Amino acid sequence: MLNLPNTLTFLRLLLIPVFAYAAIAGNFAYPWFAPVTFGLAALTDWFDGIAARKLNQTTEFGKIFDPVVDRILIASALVVLYIKISSLVPLWAIMIIIGRDILMVIGWVYVSYLGARIRVTYEGKLATATLMGAAFFLMLNFADGLIGFKVIGVLLFYIGVVLSVISALRYFRVGIDMLRHA
């Protein structure tokens, strides 16, 4: 069902290759284009949630599509950042985040197959928002070179890594409890 929230999520998906190309292209003429495009994509995550609740347009498709697109957006941003500034965004941290996301999707599919549903946790939402903020500031850093953007971006990145681990542990515990009672 293509309502406003799902349209915003689809727009976020379409913006991923746009910001990725703009960020990686060495001779791209507009250095601010990548962070602005990524920021717009990240904001659609916030707006689609608001629209779904306010307009009562929550759909089963959106409950699946939105978090999957979030995972793709985060993974894409992390790969771009690693390509551009691997000294600030180490591979081990990216592997933790993307590995967590892969395990979460597999677990979610399995639990859904059993007929249960795991709700998104506050820690998971906070980890996603923090990592989106980190990617935005780090992209601003390589667009402008201001040290403040780098410091904020790196700080948010490592907070996002910690929050990702915390949320993974929480989801794991919820999933185990659900399987015990299934």
Q: Work out how many domains the chain is built from and give that number.
A: 2
Q: Which of 49, 76, 103 is the endpoint of a domain? A: 76
Give the burial string for 144-178 (b: 16+ CB within 10 Å, else e).
eeeeebbebbbebbebbbebbeebbeebeebbeee
Nearest CA-CA partner of 174 in 111, 132, 115, 128: 111
- Tell me, yes or no, whether 131 lies in a domain: yes
Over the stretch 67-101, which tens digit does the pLDDT of each residue have?
A: 899 999 999 999 999 998 888 899 999 999 999 99
Same-domain pairing of 69 and 109: no
Tell me the CA distances in angstroms from 106 to 45, 66, 111, 165, one per residue in order: 22, 16, 9, 16
Type of residue numbered 60: E
124 compared with 27, residue with greater pLDDT: 124
Alpha carbons 23 and 32: distance in angstroms, whole number: 9
Q: What is the mean pLDDT of the chain?
A: 90
Q: Does position 27 have pLDDT exceeding 70, yes or no?
A: no
Instruction: Give the domain range for residue 160.
Output: 88-182
64 and 95 assigned to the same domain: no
Domain boundary among 9, 42, 76: 76
